Chains A and B, each alone.
Chain A
């Protein structure tokens, strides 16, 4: 029996481990599938990390190194090259590596920190041939930044989320020509800062309301057909345009990697594809917690670390035998607010609720009402956008007595 097993040694897993240790837990084991700790940060060699957490602008590897140092200083045990295969409802973990073979650990508490994966071409049903030269942006990033190989030299990128924008710059710096970044929506999903320093700096056109409709090329990509889309996001055939290229990078969605959560019968949200959790980041299974991108996709790793601290502290309390919570206040959202984390409140105390909106809205109020329709909280926001996670803090007195909470966006006249 290990008291705390953490699945994933990226920023979420490391931060959770450190927080659990600092709350008094010693019997911890981090299981990481890669050959080093750090998770996806290892390949995120650009800067923009750590401004909130450390007051400094760090690159991904530098941010990861800060947490690795904390893990090493505390001598928190971890296994590398170890892939978890299964987790049961009663917290038996099956994992494999070359040294131990296939082994099982029973845990008192588990923190899920597996991160997320990228949506591939097949999920979009893009018609055409299936040549080499089509990569998700993260896979291309791995080839370039970790292995030192160039996927191609004439690039089109589909998806203007941050990964797509960052790779537009990265490929350009390494000598490729990025012909266009196409974005299905009428707005970019990435930070304005990245549009500036990744596209505008290099005169890379951003084509909003555009998508790739066909892929050409027998063995290697020859080019793509792109087209403008209408208000229903359907391609307008008359606008079709052929762009010769040898590389198509896809930045079309991150999906929390919850295959293991499913084996443990953790209840998942249909909106986030991550676990449904309370303010302690505990899932519906007592003693199983979730944090980081496996719970919901974050924009800033600083917030991943914050969230993981909550999970780590809460797992520690659970291990020490903290009493189960008696109350259960679900938080519902109105659709303009796409989701909230946590989705349920199980303790009456000050709680920060994170949320994402479904579209760009200007001049809105974030309202929280109880089941009687009474307003318990309101906050004005001049602008909210899908690409930027928001948060509000509910005070204990605003929560007390409610049976259900509803979050909504209201237009301000």
Chain B
């Protein structure tokens, strides 16, 4: 029996696992997909919000501000890219000015440091490419950007290196209470635990219902994004917001930690929790809206587009509670979920302790994980030292992002281990450049087949039926 089972290996579940792995506890994370970070964690705005947006006194507000303060240290320990680039909420009218003043005051109440209201001249000095129609802005110097899926991957990997277990392809179908223990079952396996953390994202309500908690619903709200070539990465240096509405923080323009330019998200309530298709209209909306905030966004420099589903709780705030002794909900984690995630993990631990969980710190807990991109950041001399020991670091596989075979091999061999092209993509950045894998994917397919000791025809893009090649040439192809 595990001390704690966490359902969901997104950024919340992964950071919770890492925190718990500090202590002498047996921890197991159950993840329905074949990899970590497969839900909203890999399809969001990648922003660590300053914390002025959420209503004062809410969990969103408290945990956002705390999470944003915790983030730099966690990213440094885990070797995850993080940049404190600052945020700007821009306004075009008197009404916007009023909203911006409200956000300023709210931010003060929430404990956000350094907030300033800028006039047109000051705004234009900070961001020369901002729309000429912008008349004012809220400047939040503590706003930052991060690589969200790398944060989850690194947190989970660090948790596993410190003793936590990860079970992928484990879709929870039922949870029974048997005496002291929760018995959590998939179609083929069952695990038992004293405590359960429900971090199941868009399906958190489904999991809660399994123990009889019908108190909340999670409904999906779609957000579509367009990512532009790294050529465009310095069009703006801050994350640019417009004033928020009921549906969310609006469509923004932001550099990413990898120097791309991210446009989006749209905000649309949908029915299907599994439909992650982008739409013609959605992508068009992204291009049109962002054109209003920032001048000269080159429409023809898109390299990819994608869609994420926000897990929107029906209470308006994060749903963090304990409906049953030993069971913690970390549900409704929509924006500012990423920003709050380190603080959510700590709050979850607090709740567990209140319920009787005894914790003793491990003497040998190692919070440090080598950055996935240490080679890229090394000097030529350091790189050549590494190449001397391991030639595979001298062979470039991904031309666009300059990723070596050595880095790809390391990613394949490091917790949490990837099994497919997308998993390698998220860990190494190979296939994320301007050619989107056109050059490197045949080589990565070969490397993966070799390392996993599987035939090339079994290599997939993202598990399941997503095979890259249906077979060898010269074999009979059945046409159905």
Interface residue? B439 (CB, 8 A): yes
Interface residue? B289 (CB, 8 A): no
Which residue of chain B is the closest to A246 with respect to CB atoms?
B470
Contact present for A98 and B395 (CB under 8 Å): yes
Interface residue? B246 (CB, 8 A): no
Which residue of chain B is the closest to A148 with respect to CB atoms?
B473
Of the stretches A53-61, A115-123, A385-393, the one at the interface is A115-123
A149-B473, A219-B463, A246-B470 are known contacts. Are A122 and B305 too (CB-CB below 8 A)?
A: yes
Contacts of B387 in A (CB 8 A): 96, 98, 101-102
Of the stretches A150-158, A348-356, A375-383, the one at the interface is A150-158
Whole-angstrom CA separation of A216 from B278 in the bound complex: 10
Interface of chain B residues 436 through 480 with chain A (CB within 8 A): 436-439, 441-442, 446, 456-457, 460-479
A128-B277, A219-B465 are known contacts. Are A149 and B471 too (CB-CB below 8 A)?
A: yes
Interface residue? B396 (CB, 8 A): yes
Which residue of chain B is the closest to A86 with respect to CB atoms?
B402
Whole-angstrom CA separation of A131 from B474 in the bound complex: 25
Total contacts A-B at CB 8 Å = 153
Interface residue? B380 (CB, 8 A): yes
Contacts of B366 in A (CB 8 A): none
Interface residue? A142 (CB, 8 A): yes
Contact present for A147 and B462 (CB under 8 Å): no
Interface of chain A residues 360 through 376 with chain B (CB within 8 A): none
Interface residue? B388 (CB, 8 A): yes
Interface residue? A108 (CB, 8 A): no
Residue of B380, B439, B442 touching A143 (CB-CB under 8 A): B442
A 90-115 to B, binary, CB cutoff 8 A, 1 in contact else 0: 00001011111110000000000000
Contacts of A85 in B (CB 8 A): 396, 402
Contact present for A154 and B471 (CB under 8 Å): no
CB distance from B61 to the nearest CB of A (A): 34
B 278-304 to A, binary, CB cutoff 8 A, 1 in contact else 0: 111011000000000000000010111
Contact present for A122 and B394 (CB under 8 Å): no
Contacts of B442 in A (CB 8 A): 139, 142-143, 146-147
Whole-angstrom CA separation of A98 from B391 in the bound complex: 5
Contact present for A117 and B470 (CB under 8 Å): no
Residue of A129, A133, A136, A149 touching B277 (CB-CB under 8 A): A129
Contact present for B466 and A219 (CB under 8 Å): yes
Whole-angstrom CA separation of A398 from B304 in the bound complex: 48
Contact present for B477 and A97 (CB under 8 Å): no
Contacts of A142 in B (CB 8 A): 442
Contact present for A149 and B435 (CB under 8 Å): no
B 380-423 to A, binary, CB cutoff 8 A, 1 in contact else 0: 10011001100110111001101010000000000000000000
Interface residue? B226 (CB, 8 A): yes
Contacts of A147 in B (CB 8 A): 442, 446, 456
Contact present for A149 and B456 (CB under 8 Å): yes
Which residue of chain A is the closest to B287 with respect to CB atoms?
A125
Whole-angstrom CA separation of A63 from B409 in the bound complex: 36
A 214-227 to B, binary, CB cutoff 8 A, 1 in contact else 0: 11101110000000
Main secondary structure of the interface of A (DSSP, over half): mixed
Which residue of chain A is the closest to B385 with respect to CB atoms?
A101
Contact present for A213 and B280 (CB under 8 Å): yes
Contact present for A120 and B280 (CB under 8 Å): no
Interface residue? A243 (CB, 8 A): no
Interface residue? B306 (CB, 8 A): yes
Which residue of chain A is the closest to B281 with respect to CB atoms?
A127
CB distance from B479 to the nearest CB of A (A): 6
Contacts of B476 in A (CB 8 A): 175
Interface residue? A132 (CB, 8 A): yes
Contact present for B394 and A99 (CB under 8 Å): yes
Contacts of B394 in A (CB 8 A): 96-102
Which residue of chain B is the closest to A121 with respect to CB atoms?
B436
Contact present for A153 and B277 (CB under 8 Å): no
Contacts of A120 in B (CB 8 A): 303-304, 434-438
CB distance from B392 to the nearest CB of A (A): 7
Contact present for B441 and A131 (CB under 8 Å): no
Contacts of A208 in B (CB 8 A): none
CB distance from B423 to the nearest CB of A (A): 13
CB distance from A141 to the nearest CB of B (A): 10
Interface residue? A144 (CB, 8 A): yes
Interface residue? A24 (CB, 8 A): no
Contacts of B434 in A (CB 8 A): 117, 120
CB distance from B399 to the nearest CB of A (A): 7
Contacts of B227 in A (CB 8 A): 122
Interface residue? A83 (CB, 8 A): yes
Whole-angstrom CA separation of A129 from B309 in the bound complex: 13
Interface residue? B369 (CB, 8 A): no
Whole-angstrom CA separation of A216 from B276 in the bound complex: 10
Whole-angstrom CA separation of A255 from B306 in the bound complex: 23
Interface residue? A81 (CB, 8 A): yes
A85-B402, A117-B439 are known contacts. Are A132 and B474 too (CB-CB below 8 A)?
A: no
Whole-angstrom CA separation of A160 from B436 in the bound complex: 21
Contact present for A123 and B477 (CB under 8 Å): no
Interface residue? A324 (CB, 8 A): no
Whole-angstrom CA separation of A122 from B436 in the bound complex: 8
CB distance from A113 to the nearest CB of B (A): 15
Interface residue? A138 (CB, 8 A): yes
Contact present for B395 and A97 (CB under 8 Å): yes
A101-B388, A153-B477 are known contacts. Are A129 and B276 too (CB-CB below 8 A)?
A: yes
A102-B387, A125-B302, A127-B280 are known contacts. Are A96 and B467 too (CB-CB below 8 A)?
A: no
Contacts of A96 in B (CB 8 A): 387, 394-396, 404
A 24-49 to B, binary, CB cutoff 8 A, 1 in contact else 0: 00000000010000000000000000
Contacts of B391 in A (CB 8 A): 98-99
Residue of A81, A117, A150 touching B435 (CB-CB under 8 A): A117
Contact present for A102 and B384 (CB under 8 Å): yes
Contact present for A130 and B467 (CB under 8 Å): no
6 A-B pairs within 8 Å (CB atoms) are namely A96-B396, A98-B387, A131-B466, A139-B442, A149-B457, A152-B470
Residues of A within 8 A of B (CB): 33, 81, 83, 85, 94, 96-102, 117-118, 120-123, 125, 127-133, 135-136, 138-139, 142-144, 146-154, 174-177, 213-216, 218-220, 235, 246, 259
Residues of B within 8 A of A (CB): 226-227, 274, 276-280, 282-283, 300, 302-306, 380, 383-384, 387-388, 391-392, 394-396, 399-400, 402, 404, 434-439, 441-442, 446, 456-457, 460-479
4 tightest A-B contacts by CB? A122-B304, A132-B461, A219-B466, A149-B469
20 additional A-B pairs beyond A117-B439, A219-B466, A235-B280, beta carbons within 8 Å, are: A96-B395, A96-B396, A96-B404, A101-B387, A102-B383, A120-B303, A120-B434, A120-B438, A128-B277, A130-B306, A139-B438, A143-B442, A149-B456, A149-B457, A149-B468, A151-B468, A153-B470, A219-B464, A220-B466, A220-B467
